Structures are given as C-alpha cells and as structure tokens.
Amino acid sequence: MIGYIDKIREVALKLLNEEKVDMVIGYRQGSLPMMTEPCFVKRPEDVETLIWDSNCRINLAAYLMDRKEKIGIIAKGCDSRNIINHLVENKIKREQLVIIGAPCKGMIDNKAIALQFGQDIDEYQETEDQITVKGGGTEKTFQKVDVLQENCAICNHRNPVVYDELAGDLVEEQTDIDRYEDIRKIEAMDIDEKWNFFEDMLSTCIRCYACRNACPLCYCPTCFVDESKPQWVGKSNDPNDTRTFHFLRAFHCAGRCTDCGACERACPMDIPVRLFTKKLGKDCLDLYGWEAGLDPEQRPPLDTFKPDDPNVGMK
Amino acid sequence: MEYMGIDRDRLHFSWVSSAEASKFITVVKEVTASVKALGPATKFVKDRRQVS
C-alpha cells in the first residue's frame, strides 16, 4: 500500500497538465509524525507535496460538497462510498470528478500507538506490514494489524466502489469479520443497563461538535443543534441534551453512514460515538439489506417505500 | 430508543386514518394503559427549574 504514491503523483500530474481537473484533493504530511492533512493541489509543480501512507485516515469526501470545479480526488473504500452518497444526494456531479481509487489495507490508530509508545514520537516509518516509531532515544516496531483503527479492522469494503484510475492493485476484502459484536453486547443489556452505559459513556462529552464537523454526511447549512427558532435541543452539556444530540445525529446518518470513523477520530474526549451510527447501520442491514454508498443508482431505504417494508414497532 | 435505554412501552407508533375512529380509540387506550403501568418517567426528565 505504501507504494501507491508514485502512481498517485503520476495520475495527479497528468490530470493537472491535461487540465482535466482544476485541482486534486489528496493528503500531505502534517506538522507531526503520523499526522496527515488534506491538501488541494492546483498546480502541476505541487504534486510532490502529495503523500500516501497508513496515516491518510481523513475522509476526503467531506471536501466535495457543492463544489463547482472539476476535481480529482483520492478515495479509499470508505471515501468512495461517501462520494456515492454525495452523488445520490446531489451534492456533486459525477462528471466533475476523477476518482483516483486507493485500495486500502486499513489506516492505523495514531493515538493507540502514541499511548503504547509512551514517549513523544519524532520519527515514523512503515513497511507493508510493520510500523516503526522512534523518539526519546528508543524505537519500537508494531505489527500493522495490531494497531489498525477499529473501524478499519472490521472494514468489509476496502476497495474503492467507484473509481476512474487505480493507485494500486485491488486488495482482498475481509470476509471473516464480525462487524457488530459490540452492538449486540449493548442490545443484550437490560433497559437500565443500557441507559447507564450511555450515561457513563457520554458524561465526558463537551458538546464541541467535532464529530459533526468531521463527518462527510453532516453538511446541513444550519445544523439542528444550532437552530434557535425553534430550539430543538438545549445547548448546555446537560446529560439529556447531550444524549439527544448524539442520538439525533446518528438518526440523521441512518442509511448513509459508511463507518469511516471520522467522528470518532475527531473526538477530543475519545467517546466511541460510532456505537450510535453503527447501531443504525446494523438495523439498515438487518431490516432492508442495505449498506450505504455502494450504488449511485439505488435510492436509500429511508427515502423509498416498498409494500413489503418491515413494520418495526408499528401498531 | 430502546437501544438508548428507554422502555419500549413508553414509545408508540401507529398509523391511523381519519376514517379509523375505533382504531384510534384502541390505540390511545393501549398507549395510556401501558404508560400508566410503567409509572412516572425517571429518564430523560429535566427539572422544571432547569427549563423555565
């Protein structure tokens, strides 16, 4: 996977030189090791700033909404599914896009590595299977499979679903994974246990809305939490309001969430917010056989009616 | 809502046409009976001083 960068730069250079796109959205090195930031390359001479490694965890689809120019974009499996979401929701046109697919073997959890390493990390290197970090006079090597982000470890769509160019060969999809073990554990709790579980989980939430801001699905011009006429939800960090925010946000993402993990990565308090969106993902799969972002021609289950739709909880 | 820890009997959904008066009565009776059986809500409740 690490070798994709030559191909990515080559394609980006070609697209810009031939003026097929006005810019290429990709990743460049961030200010710290193991951090990348999104970048918009508009001039052919700047393609060298593009990088690719196991830290390209940001979902670039979040930068496409309502763009007017022609765009080249690097897309992992999850990014490509979010691009399809945008196509379905008319946030961008397919003709505007040249999608550079990056078959993905998972991004690594930099917070987990920093925690296990216990020192400031000054240097980072990776091979196909191993991650090596250096700092404070020591170094440590991790197996990549042990430090994957949780959503990458249980990912079942590693290959881009839609693409025009490929940065490398398609990878094998994971088939023997249990995506919803954690959700089933919560579902099996009794009603008070559930309540207390989420009460405890959300007790540290500071309502910074980083999860919403990072999410490629959350593009409403005015979010329901920011409305004041009417005010749908209290703005303090009262536990009831915090809970309302998180559950309502999850409902807004029902049938749309691709489990890219942007929300959870953005959370400064390390709240596992994917437990909300994943539950609705599971319900969509169980009830409608639906996974988001796989087919631009198909309407999502929540905006279609079928006579045989399941009547959950209806009298 | 059940996933969140709200009792299933507190939340009811029904589709009642304006021509289905008897169904409406049945549903309302069922809803009030099941909510009464649970007693006052303790979850998702704000103190009145907090909201006024």
**What mean pLDDT do residues A196-202 have?**
95
A14 and A143 inside one domain: no
With CB atoms and an 8 Å threshold, state whether B5 touches A195: yes
Residue A292 confidence (pLDDT): 94
Which residue range is the domain that position A96 belongs to?
Answer: 1-105+155-170
Structurally, chain A folds into a number of domains equal to: 3
A77 and A121 inside one domain: no
With CB atoms and an 8 Å threshold, state whether A238 touches B46: yes
Among B4, B16, B17, B45, the strongest candidate for a mutation testing the A interface, having the largest count of A CBs within 10 A, is B4
Is residue A315 assigned to a domain?
Answer: no
Residue A310 confidence (pLDDT): 85
A293 and A199 inside one domain: yes
CA dihedral of residues A83, A88, A91, A97 (deg, nearest 10) = 50
For chain B, the domains span: 1-37
Residue A269's φ and ψ, nearest 5 degrees, are: -105, 5
- Which residues of chain B neighbour A194 with C-beta distances below 8 Å? 2-5
A40 and A160 inside one domain: yes
Give me the residues of chain B with pLDDT under 70, please: 50-52
A210 and A277 inside one domain: yes
A35 and A24 inside one domain: yes
Is residue A182 assigned to a domain?
Answer: yes
A94 and A237 inside one domain: no
pLDDT band at residue A309 under the 50/70/90 scheme: confident
A68 and A92 inside one domain: yes
Looking at CA atoms only, how far is residue B42 from chain A in angstroms? Answer: 11
Q: What percent of chain A has pLDDT over 70?
A: 100
A164 and A73 inside one domain: yes
Does A278 reach chain B within 8 Å, measured CB to CB?
no
A13 and A162 inside one domain: yes
Q: Enter the ipTM.
A: 0.84
With CB atoms and an 8 Å threshold, state whether A315 touches B13: yes
The partner residue sitting opposite A198, judged by closest CB among B5, B8, B46, is: B5
A207 and A285 inside one domain: yes
The partner residue sitting opposite B44, judged by closest CB among A196, A240, A315, is: A240
With CB atoms and an 8 Å threshold, state whether B8 touches A186: no
Residue A313 confidence (pLDDT): 75
Looking at CA atoms only, how far is residue B28 from chain A in angstroms? Answer: 11
Does A251 reach chain B within 8 Å, measured CB to CB?
no
A160 and A20 inside one domain: yes
With CB atoms and an 8 Å threshold, state whether B14 touches A193: no
pLDDT digits 0-9 by tens, A144-158: 999 999 999 999 999
pLDDT digits 0-9 by tens, A207-259: 999 999 999 999 999 999 999 888 889 888 889 999 999 999 999 999 999 99
pLDDT digits 0-9 by tens, A22-62: 999 999 999 999 999 999 999 999 999 999 999 999 999 99
